Every structure is written in structure tokens, then in C-alpha cells.
Amino acid sequence: MFMNPPQTVRVWDPFVRVFHWSLVSCVMLNYFVVEDGETLHQWLGYIATALVAARIVWGFIGTRYARFADFFPTPQRLLRHLRQVASGQPDFHPGHNPVGALMMLALITLVLGLGLTGFLQTTDAFWGVEWMQELHEVLASTLIALAGLHALAAIVMSRVERINLVAAMVTGVKIRKRAQQST
Ligand code: HEM
Ligand code: HEM
């Protein structure tokens, strides 16, 4: 038995990694710890919104795999990916695969929606308006549900692709283990 040397790709730059774990912290704190809508909640919510705004800019000027051009899930890219997966062929993307990219876009859109509905609740026009509070709450619950699915998918895909995707979001490097072969 031997293990071939692993294949390594430097994929996530420091900005993407700091962005990701800071966003996770703000969202988790706002949902599970400081969900009273008061000052700290508002600060954390605006920080999350600003992080996403900065990530969108980085999506145009950032490093190769951080760019929307690298992973934007166009219908062609999605179809090709789904066909390949359905046929049992691995479809390895160093950056986000098209389905992961779709999830990324959903997550950042929900954070922007929370920033907006949160802000509107602090204005005279929407202060105390029940449907706006409910919309904010629904967006928050949807974000947490999708984030749970996203984390689960990252763990499952790590096994399928033999790459520790979560570690890659910490170190920036994707290391693909080759399958073990018998001599
Ligand atoms: C509130 C919770 C979370 C949010 C809002 C969130 C959001 C995101 C976003 C926006 C990206 C895209 C990164 C970029 O291109 O800049 C991403 C990627 C990623 N996230 Fe999360 N995330 C959350 C929780 C988690 C957790 C708990 C894990 C670990 C289990 C995780 C693992 C990953 C991984 C591995 C990637 C890269 C996926 C790939 O290789 O394509 N995320 N996440
Ligand atoms: C990551 C972003 C955010 C998340 C995950 C989040 C989540 C939540 C949650 C779970 C609640 C409790 C809902 C309930 O049970 O009634 C809440 C309430 C509230 N949030 Fe946010 N929020 C975010 C951003 C913001 C921002 C940016 C603001 C304002 C600047 C804001 C203002 C409020 C207010 C005023 C309430 C109280 C609403 C009420 O009285 O029911 N939030 N938020």
C-alpha cells in the first residue's frame, strides 16, 4: 500500500478567510446570543453587512479564486456540474463549485436583507411595524437553516472529494489526498 503525494492548491486568500470566520461569528452571535435588536445587535449586524459589501468588491478585484468570474453559477456551469455529478464523475473545482457558489450567493443575499430590514426597523417609517419585524426574523431563520445545510455540505463534500474543505477555509490551502492504491 502507498499514498501518492498530495495535490495542493493555494485557494483562499487571507481576506476571504478573515471575511468568512468574522461573518460566521457576527451571524451566530446575533442569532443565538444578542438577538434583542439593541445597540450591540445593530453593530454586529452592520459589521456583517459591511463584510459582505467588502466581499462583493473583492469578488471583482480580488485573487483568482475569490472572483465572481471564477465561480459565478451561470446556467451552463450549473448544468455541466450537475450532469457530471449525476454521471458519477468527480467535478473538481479549486474554488467554489457551481452549487456551492449558488449557496454562497444565497447566504450573502440573506445577510444584506437582514442589514436592510434591521436598518428599516430603526427608522420612523418602520419602527415597531410588525411585518418588518417578522420579515427580519424569517430572513434570520432562513439564513441559519441554509448555513447549517452549507456547513453539512462542506463536511460531506470533504469526504467525497477527499479534501478537508473546512481546514482549507482556515489555512487557505486545499490538499487533495490521492486514493490509496495497493502495490
Ligand atoms: C452563519 C454561518 C455561515 C455563513 C453565513 C457562511 C457563509 C459562507 C460564505 C459567504 C462562503 C463563501 C466564501 C467566499 O467565497 O468568500 C462560505 C464558504 C465556506 N464555508 Fe461557510 N458560512 C457559515 C458557516 C460555516 C461553517 C460552520 C462551516 C464549517 C463547517 C463553513 C465552511 C465553509 C467552507 C468549507 C467554505 C468554502 C467552500 C468551498 O470550498 O467551496 N461555513 N461560507
Ligand atoms: C447578521 C445580521 C442579523 C441577524 C442574524 C439578525 C437576527 C435577529 C433575530 C434572530 C432577531 C429576533 C427576532 C425575534 O425573535 O423577534 C432580531 C431582532 C432585531 N434585529 Fe436583527 N439581525 C441582524 C441584523 C440586524 C441589523 C443590522 C439591525 C439594525 C440595524 C437589526 C435590528 C433588529 C431589531 C430592531 C430587532 C428587534 C425586532 C423586534 O422587536 O422583534 N438586526 N434580529
Q: What is the pTM of this model?
A: 0.94
Please count the other Cβ atoms lying within 10 Å of the Cβ belonging to residue 124.
6
Contact 158, 165 (CB under 8 A): yes
Residue 94 lies in a domain: yes
Containing domain of residue 72, as a range? 14-161
Residue 9 lies in a domain: no
**pLDDT at residue 2 in the model:** 35
CATH of the domain at 122: 1.20.950.20
Ligand 1 site, CB within 6 A: 16, 19-20, 23-24, 27-28, 55, 96, 100, 104, 107-108, 147, 150-151, 154-155, 165-166, 169
**pLDDT at residue 182 in the model:** 40
- Position 49 confidence tier, pLDDT thresholds 50, 70, 90: very high
Q: Report how far residue 116's alpha carbon sits from residue 82's, in angstroms, rounded to the nearest whole number.
A: 34
Total domain count, the chain: 1
Instruction: Answer with the residue of higher pLDDT: 180 or 53.
Output: 53
Residue 183 lies in a domain: no
**pLDDT at residue 179 in the model:** 63
Residue 3 lies in a domain: no
